Amino acid sequence: MRILIKEAYAVFQERTKILQNADVAIEHGKIVSVGESLDGFNPEVTIDGRGRKLLVVPGIMNSHIHTDETLYMNVIPDSAKHIPWFRDWTLPYYHAINREDLYWSTLLSCMLMLESGTTCYSDSANVEPYLAADAATKSGIRGFVAKWTSDIGGDFSMPTDDCIRENEELLKINRRKGRVKAIASVIGINRTSNSLYTAIKELALKNNTIVTSHEASGVEDVKLCLKRTGKRPIENLYSIGFLSERTLISHLTVITEREASLVSKTGTAVVTCPTAELKKGKGFTRQGKLHRLIKDGVRICVGTDTSNSSNHLNVVRAGTLASLIAKDVSQDPGIADVGTVLSWLTETPYSIFGIKGGKIRRGYVADVSVFELELGFYSKGVLQELFYGNNQKCIATIVDGELAYCEGKFKKFKREDVLQECASRAERIHRRLSL
């Protein structure tokens, strides 16, 4: 597909350079021109910025989400604490749903992400990852699925060898063409043995992918890890060699200065989910060390987490919140300026996941998000308007050079059909749970 975005603000190459009245041409899944008009380019679709204030940014990635849970959105009380939130509310949901529910929950997730400008996402714990991959493929989004993997007690736990075998089998989908791939994953948070941690990491390296885990998500997790291993979560992972440049850790809500230094020392990347941490009152601003990780040069990504953690899947909003937390805790407004926040959503995750994208640059993968700004008065302030402003909205989401979403319409399905089906399924789930 040939797409021309005409006369827009464009974040060009480096995240601090804004072009005005720029044309962006896309063909065969790649960005072929940025800046002035390309002679002889005959677009099939034109997104015209004349008379509007359009902002073109690199494709945006939601780096931590659980698409299985979106049918349950807005159900868990916002007064629920960390452990009861999972034990008393989330686990019963998983026991009340069926395979078709999981498919539609992921399709709903992808729809909500696409219409907020997300071109790519990563889910680290799918109960049925093949169904999630099918739904993501249907939507047109780029995505990464993973198996909910644990070998210590609790729901969905399996023998260690079965965990390894299922991850190995899932990673075979990376051999086929398509935008949806798999990553190696363990659930972490005291449901993973040290032998499984090391085995899944080795499997990730063997298959040239990353390995991810949830860690230090709350004070309770840390206390249990100390009791189980004699070490804090990150100290334990460091001692067994799990931390590396190919490791992506989610949360890190409660860590020490030493643990922060171990993350930095090993080149481990981090996904922060600020709304999830603050909403559950985990003490993130006092114990999370996000500002320290930023200062140490740790690669930071952002996720919305589940639909009951953020109650939205708009990772731009989550990025804004992460930046405000870092600014306030460090008392340094320059620690996370808008260019830095944009990198957390674009070039950093795209690099971690091995995609030549995350920049508006000739020859890069054409994952592109287009927003309409209400004001757009000052060219150097358009990113501030994107992250902090009022009434900015995504008008087009381009994935791999295809127009997955544009002006309220999706390429592969009708919004009203998805909402109608999901509303019906959600109602049945509520009845099963006697809500």
Three-class DSSP labels, the chain = CCEEEEEEEEEECCCCCEEEEEEEEEECCEEEEEECCCCCCCCCEEEECCCCCEEEEECEEEEEECHHHHHHCCCCCCCCCHHHHHHHHHHHHHHHCCHHHHHHHHHHHHHHHHCCCEEEEEECCECCHHHHHHHHHHHCCEEEECECCCCCCCCCCCCHHHHHHHHHHHHHHHHCCCCEEECEEEEECCCCCHHHHHHHHHHHHHCCCCEEEEECCCHHHHHHHHHHHCCCHHHHHHHCCCCCCCEEEEECCCCCHHHHHHHHHHCCEEEECHHHHHHCCCCHHHHCCHHHHHHCCCCEEECCCCCCCCCCCCHHHHHHHHHHHHHHHHCCHHHHCHHHHHHHHCHHHHHHCCCCCCCECCCCECCEEEEECCCCCCHHHHHHHHHHCCCCEEEEEEECCEEEEECCEECCCCHHHHHHHHHHHHHHHHHHCCC
Encode pLDDT of 276-290 as tens digits: 999 999 999 999 999
Q: What is the pLDDT of residue 14?
A: 67
Q: How large a percentage of the chain has pLDDT more than 90?
A: 94
Residue 17 banded pLDDT, cuts 50, 70, 90: confident
Paired tokens of 421: 């089906």
Q: What is the pLDDT of residue 38?
A: 82
Residue 354 CB-density burial (10 A; 0-12 exposed, 13-18 middle, 19+ buried):
exposed
Residue 15 banded pLDDT, cuts 50, 70, 90: low
pTM value > 0.95: yes
Residue 213's nearest CA partner among 293, 151, 139 is 151
Q: Provide the b/e sequence for 271-292 (b: ≥16 CB within 10 Å).
A: bbbbbbbbbbebebeebbbbbb
Alpha carbon distance 361, 33 (integer Å) = 8
Q: Mean pLDDT throughout 60-74? A: 98
Dihedral, CA of residue 107, residue 110, residue 115 and residue 117, to nearest 10: -170
Q: What is the pLDDT of residue 63?
A: 98
Q: Mean pLDDT throughout 50-65? A: 96
Position 189 pLDDT exceeds 90: no
Q: What is the pLDDT of residue 391?
A: 80
Q: What is the pLDDT of residue 16?
A: 67
Q: What is the pLDDT of residue 13?
A: 65
Instruction: Compute φ and ψ for 51, nearest 5 degrees.
Output: 80, 5
Q: What is the pLDDT of residue 311?
A: 94
* Angle between helical axes of 338-345 and 315-330 (0-180°, round to 10): 130
Residue 206, sorted as left (phi over 0), alpha (psi -120 to 50) or beta, turns out to be: alpha
Encode pLDDT of 211-238 as tens digits: 999 999 999 999 999 999 999 999 999 9
Q: Mean pLDDT throughout 50-79? A: 97
Q: Mean pLDDT throughout 320-340? A: 97
Q: Mean pLDDT throughout 160-166? A: 98
Higher pLDDT, 126 or 380: 126
Q: Tokens 């997104």, residue?
A: 47
Residue 99 banded pLDDT, cuts 50, 70, 90: very high
**62 Cβ partners below 8 Å, 6+ apart?**
113, 118, 120, 121, 122, 302, 303, 304, 313, 315, 318
Domains of the chain (ranges, CATH numbers): 3-59+365-407 (2.30.40.10), 60-352 (3.20.20.140)
